[in-house]
Amino acid sequence: MSTLWQRIQYRMLRSGSRVSLLIWINVIVYLAINIPSTLEKFIFHSNNIDVFIDGHLALHAYLPVLLRNPWTPFTYMFMHAGILHILINMLWLYWMGQIFEEYLGTNRTIGLYILGGLVGAFLFVLFYNIPTLFTTQDLVGGKLVGASAGIMAIIVATGTLLPDYEVYVLLIGAVRLKWIVLFLIILDFFGIVGFNAGGELSHLGGALFGFIYIKQLQRGTDMVTFFTKLFKKRSKLTVATKGGTTPTGKKPRQEDIDRILDKISQSGYDSLSKQEKEILFRASKDNES
């Protein structure tokens, strides 16, 4: 048992992957809520836990409820409506998150996930409060749970950065990321008139942020700088140079990284020279240090 717990601790805290950390947080939250909830329903035939979760941790579109629970735009993105819901979300996060971290390091993942989730929450609340789009009954009953908005931000960011990156899809074969992203966005767009309209709106909000994030990053602006600094260990070792001091390991210049990211976006990763790939590799390692 201790060995299993040590493995879990390593995957969550010591492996360096923020994708693994996010997956474990979502899984632990799901189990912590649903195991007691299931036991309550089985033994006591009541649903007090579910009522509490829906009222205080899910995101409500109705502003009076939202204002009483201002933390829910954050908590909703770690909640899930069922086992299939969390399974699909975590598979997408694991699949696309690994590619994202391979090219941009690990320290941007959590920031992108959270801000994508917040933008998704904003779009959900905004559109539900437009009377011409949703009825009062829809507004009062509108609530949202799920990591999908944050995960869509990661998916679209990855597809925007590496549009021609090919992944293997079962029964189809090699597919470029840009087509997968386009397919998911089209599905979400048509879904805004379906039974899960609020969820689809939040997905589109996360997707929009993911696209904007990469475009701004390619222009030299990192919109998740706060989270990057929060999770980055800084080295105090420096070496003297003619121009001053430079961190050991010859940290790549930001302008070189931005140029390479722009080249990947336009021509794909395979268009990089050996030297450019080495620069990107060193930059990724610096982010993980």
Residue 232 lies in a domain: no
Do 108 and 177 lie in one domain? The reply is yes
* Least-confidence region, from 160-169, 213-222, 253-262: 253-262
Confidence of residue 9 (pLDDT cuts 50, 70, 90): low
pLDDT of residue 268: 65
- Mean pLDDT value across the chain: 84
Structural domain contains residue 55:
yes
Mean pLDDT of 228-252: 48
Task: Please tell me whether residues 81 and 31 are part of one structural domain.
Answer: yes
220 and 99 within one domain: yes
Domain containing 189 — which CATH number?
1.20.1540.10
Same domain, residue pair 47 and 119? yes
Task: Reply yes or no on whether the pLDDT at 229 is more than 70.
Answer: no
Position with higher pLDDT, 68 vs 241? 68
Report residue 29's pLDDT band, with 50, 70 and 90 as the boundaries. Answer: very high
Asked if 8 and 24 touch (Cβ cutoff 8 Å), the reply is: yes
Quick one: pLDDT at residue 168?
87
Q: How high is the pLDDT of residue 6?
A: 55
Q: Is residue 85 part of a domain?
A: yes
Instruction: Give the pLDDT confidence score for residue 220 in this predicted structure.
Output: 86
Residues 88 and 182 in one domain: yes
Claim to verify: residue 29 and residue 98 sit in the same structural domain: yes
Query: Same domain, yes or no, for 246 and 222?
Result: no
Ranking 21-25, 90-94, 184-188, 250-254 by mean pLDDT, the lowest is: 250-254
Burial class of residue 41 in the structure, from the number of CB atoms within 10 Å of its CB (0-12 exposed, 13-18 middle, 19+ buried): middle
pLDDT tens digits along 34-45: 999 999 999 999
pLDDT for 230:
64
What average pLDDT does the segment 90-97 reach?
Answer: 95
Residue at 111 is within a domain: yes
Please give the tally of structural domains in the chain: 2
Give the pLDDT of residue 13.
55
Asked if 161 and 25 sit in the same domain, the reply is yes
Residue 231 domain-assigned (yes or no): no
Residue pLDDT, tens place only, 136-154: 888 888 999 999 999 999 9
- Same domain membership, residue 207 and residue 277: no
Looking at the structure, tell me whether residues 222 and 252 fall in a common domain.
no
Same domain? For 178 and 262 the reply is no
Structural domain boundaries enclosing 95? 2-226
